[in-house]
Amino acid sequence: MRHIKIAFWGLLALLSILWLAAEPSALQPEGFMALRDAMVQCSGVVAIGVMSVAMILALRPRWPERWFGGLDKMYRLHKWLGITALVVSVAHWLWSQAPKWGVGWDLLERPAVENPVEVFFMSLRGSAEGVGEWAFYAAVLLIALALVRYFPYRLFYKTHRLLAVAYLVLVFHAVVLTQFNYWTSPIGVVLAVLLAAGTYGAAIVLLRRVGAGREVQGTIISLHYYPGVRVLETEIEVPQGWPGHKPGQFAFATSDSSEGAHPYTIASGWNDGDRKITFVTKELGDHTSRLRQNLSVGQHVRIEGPYGCFDFENGQPRQIWIGGGIGITPFIAGMKHIALERQAKREQLLPAVDLFHTTADYDEKAIAKLKADAEAANIRLHVFVDARDGRLTGDRIRAEVPEWRMASIWFCGPAGFGEVLRKDFAAQGLPVDERFHQELFAMR
């Protein structure tokens, strides 16, 4: 989370400082109209700047993933930037509309313009303002829909892509209406780069080519349903194009093009001689509840990935894994990976691991399989069924693992539960910024 905050606040600071360097008079405006003009420019620069970075992140680029700590963290930044764009755009609209509300005051006077390029831009102001206003309304609606958790994913997938269209219109709006002299200053250079990159990103989104270079076609070879926990296990055979994956990583799978790609944690280790990956999905929403009826053995699916840095690699000789509900999935992959490593490299020294699985649902076959995986990996498994054992707490974990001060903690499950455990271990002196790893598996 630290790198997300650095990137978020760093971007806002960079845009604001560079704008202020180009518009130092904003610190001492000569009257309301001068303040209004400055605020319109400042809010416009910040809004289109953060929208551009959000559009770049929508492409799921590889190069910043390790620094951010995984695509899940990048998507959290994408969400923050979207919310910021929404708030700042509303402020931008309010500042720009103020003179129209006070038109009877006769306070506006258009300055004389001589630069032919600037004259051309001025001739486009009416069009830029008009289309920009409608694009603003569309963007506000689409961003608001994206933030509504109960808005169906299949509709979100379709409507969210329309933001790329609104963004392209707002690029035209920004190019025409940004203060002309900014383009020869550092803020103009940065803005031009962001607009160019964002425009490229919007084009890729509209062409449906996001992640195309990391996509392969697989075939479902087995399906197994565990009714007690309402979980479907899907085994997929993948061709040579799949590069392999680390335990804990995830991939986007598309079984229905109208539904779009959904992210699923991979619940299997990787063996290049037996090219199969397994997804374990719980019936939590409209899409996952229909998977059991919609999927069949022999069906082709598109797999894109792998993504994520929740891979248990931090050098600690002691590890504590905590899987809440379906958050057990990356740890299943971790156990299978360790079992393969123990077979292939018997002399290799591997971390000692305690795995805590807390669940509201119970399925005897699923738990038996979990125990078998833990035994094969030589991992201590602790299963907590809510109705039987009560809540899993930091005190209960520390009681089971006396060496917890030397351990790294890997958590996947409900975000609120993870935050409670993080604060609990921080209060006990664990350096959580370095040792508490949490998967933020929410892509909207």
In the predicted model, what is the mean pLDDT of residues 152-158? 77
Structural domain contains residue 313: no
Both 105 and 235 in one domain: the answer is no
Both 152 and 63 in one domain: the answer is yes
Domain containing 22 equals: 2-206
Structural domain contains residue 351: yes
In the predicted model, what is the mean pLDDT of residues 158-171? 90
* Residue showing tokens 């979207």: 82
Q: What is the CATH number of the domain that holds 219?
A: 2.40.30.10
Residue 105 has pLDDT above 60, yes or no: no
Q: Among 24-33, 76-85, 279-288, 359-368, which is the least confidently predicted range?
A: 24-33
Structural domain contains residue 443: no
Answer yes or no: are the C-beta atoms of 254 and 302 closer than 8 Å: yes
* Residue showing tokens 């509709």: 155
Q: What is the CATH number of the domain that holds 72?
A: 1.20.120
Both 263 and 329 in one domain: the answer is no
pLDDT at 443: 59
The residue ranking higher by pLDDT, 440 or 248, is 248
Q: Among 30-34, 84-88, 358-362, which is the least confidently predicted range?
A: 30-34
Both 170 and 77 in one domain: the answer is yes
Confidence of residue 113 (pLDDT cuts 50, 70, 90): very low
Both 302 and 359 in one domain: the answer is no
Both 219 and 368 in one domain: the answer is no
Both 169 and 60 in one domain: the answer is yes
Q: Which residues partner with 293 through β-bridges?
A: none
What CA–CA distances, in Å, run from 155 to 80, 158, 252, 259, 260? 21, 5, 17, 8, 10
Helices (H) and strands (E) in the chain, counts: 16, 11
Q: What is the CATH number of the domain that holds 328?
A: 3.40.50.80
Structural domain contains residue 388: yes
In the predicted model, what is the mean pLDDT of residues 132-156? 80
- The predicted model scores a pTM of 0.84
Q: Among 111-115, 200-204, 304-308, which is the least confidently predicted range?
A: 111-115
* Residue showing tokens 């299978």: 336
How many CB atoms are closer than 10 A to CB 21?
A: 11
Both 262 and 326 in one domain: the answer is no
Structural domain contains residue 444: no
pLDDT at 442: 65
In the predicted model, what is the mean pLDDT of residues 187-202? 96
Both 170 and 277 in one domain: the answer is no
Distance CA 63, CA 285 (A): 32
**SS3 at position 221:** strand
Structural domain contains residue 272: yes
Both 228 and 300 in one domain: the answer is yes
Classify residue 149 as exposed, middle or buried by CB count within 10 Å of its CB (0-12, 13-18, 19+): exposed
Distance CA 167, CA 47 (A): 11
Last residue of a domain, one of 206, 234, 249: 206
Both 431 and 297 in one domain: the answer is no
Strand order through the sheet with 231-237 = 262-265, 250-254, 300-307, 215-226, 231-237, 276-282
Both 60 and 202 in one domain: the answer is yes
Structural domain contains residue 130: yes
Last residue of a domain, one of 259, 282, 307: 307
Structural domain contains residue 84: yes
pLDDT at 290: 86
* Structural domain count, the chain: 3
Last residue of a domain, one of 206, 225, 252: 206
pLDDT at 347: 66
CA-wise closest residue to 49 among 10, 85, 20: 85
What percentage of the chain has pLDDT greater than the value 70? Answer: 91
CA-wise closest residue to 177 among 243, 130, 228: 130
| pLDDT tens digits along 296-353 | 999 999 999 999 888 888 778 899 999 998 899 999 999 998 988 887 776 667 789 9
